[in-house]
Structure 1
Amino acid sequence: MTTAPEIREPRSTTVTGRIDPSYKRSGGPKGSFEMAAWLFMRLSGIVLVVLIFGHLTVNLLVGKGVHGIDFGFVAGKWASPFWQFWDLAMLWLAMLHGTNGVRTIINDYAERDAVRFWLKMVLFAAAIVIVILGTLVIFTFDPCPQGVTTGLPDFCPAA
């Protein structure tokens, strides 16, 4: 009769339950930052649910629904500072929420300090670029640019 092979402890602990020194990560205590990040994820998630369902309601349920979304719809919506800040808050919170989540995944799965560092640098750079570009699009969007006479939508005065 054969016996089943022994199941070993997870790689991060030894038989005594202590953390194996080869898997300890460098750096001091990060408790207060991690607690703030944890709290941010919960609060931003709640706010994002409200922002996203408001966005979906206005875009898909009010008016012509999905068939009414076109360049003119977006131009009319972004003509209002309320909707500019609504979409800006949604963009910023979604990017920060997602970036924090991916940062947590990188911390959990990247074993080497250098790999973890560079993955997070790429993540932060991508998040910063997307937030900056998205903010510029929201606040500099002009459906009827001055001096252009051709190719404008029907609602522009010069068209």
Structure 2
Amino acid sequence: MTTIAEPRAPRAAVRRKGPNLEKWGWIYMRVSGVLLIVLIFGHLFINLLTGTGIHQIDFAFVAGKFATPFWQWWDVLMLWLALIHGANGMRTIVNDYVGHEATRKVLVWALWLSAGFLIVLGTLVVFTFDPCIGVTSDSSLWEMCQSVAN
């Protein structure tokens, strides 16, 4: 009779006092995944299937979307959820496959720092976007920016 060798034993998980972060991470992945499906397909529908489709997407289209708080919050929510969802997924992979504790901690910290940096940077771009910064008189946006300024 042939026997199958036992799989590598996982690290012993020590139950700590306080909130179960793994449970909340698991719940977050499910909830954010469902919300991301709605947000992404809404984004794709508006950008690709309405109006003239992909031909309508240019600087003015993006400027028009970022001029309304609804689309600003739509895109920021999509950005936040996607970055945290992705970082949490990568954290799970690092926890599963990196055996050296110090290396694992460095990688997890790097994941969260990079996700945090991109969240801050993306949020600043969305909420401080001004299509008239740096527009000169020979730009196609000159007339629009002049009418907004007056």
Distance 1:90 1:147, change over 3 A: closer
Number of aligned pairs? Answer: 146
Residues 48 and 93 of structure 1 are in contact (CA less than 8 Å); yes or no, is this contact kept in structure 2?
yes
Structure 2 counterpart of 1:54: 42
Aligned equivalents of 1:103 and 1:140: distance in 2? 31
Q: Tell me if 1:9 matches 2:6.
A: yes
Structure 2, unaligned runs of 5 or more: none
Aligned equivalents of 1:146 and 1:99: distance in 2? 35
Distance 1:147 1:44, change over 3 A: closer
Higher helix share: 2
Structure 1 counterpart of 2:96: 108
TM-score of the superposition, structure 2-length normalised?
0.86
RMSD of aligned residue pairs (Cα, Å):
2.4
Aligned equivalents of 1:55 and 1:144: distance in 2? 24
Aligned equivalents of 1:153 and 1:76: distance in 2? 12
Give the structure with higher Rg (CA).
1
Structure 1, unaligned runs of 5 or more: 13-18
AA partner of residue 36 (structure 2) = L
Query: Identity across aligned pairs (percent)?
Result: 49
Task: Describe the superposition over 1:108-128 as per-residue Cα deviations: whole angstroms up to 9, x where unpaired.
Answer: 001010010000111111101
Residues 144 and 152 of structure 1 are in contact (CA less than 8 Å); yes or no, is this contact kept in structure 2?
no
- The equivalent position to 1:29 in structure 2, one of 9, 16, 35, is 16
Distance 1:138 1:155, change over 3 A: farther
Residues 149 and 158 of structure 1 are in contact (CA less than 8 Å); yes or no, is this contact kept in structure 2?
no
* Aligned counterparts, 1:129-144, within 5 A: 129-144=117-132
Q: Tell me if 1:95 matches 2:92.
A: no
Q: Tell me if 1:145 matches 2:133.
A: yes
Residues 66 and 126 of structure 2 are in contact (CA less than 8 Å); yes or no, is this contact kept in structure 1?
yes
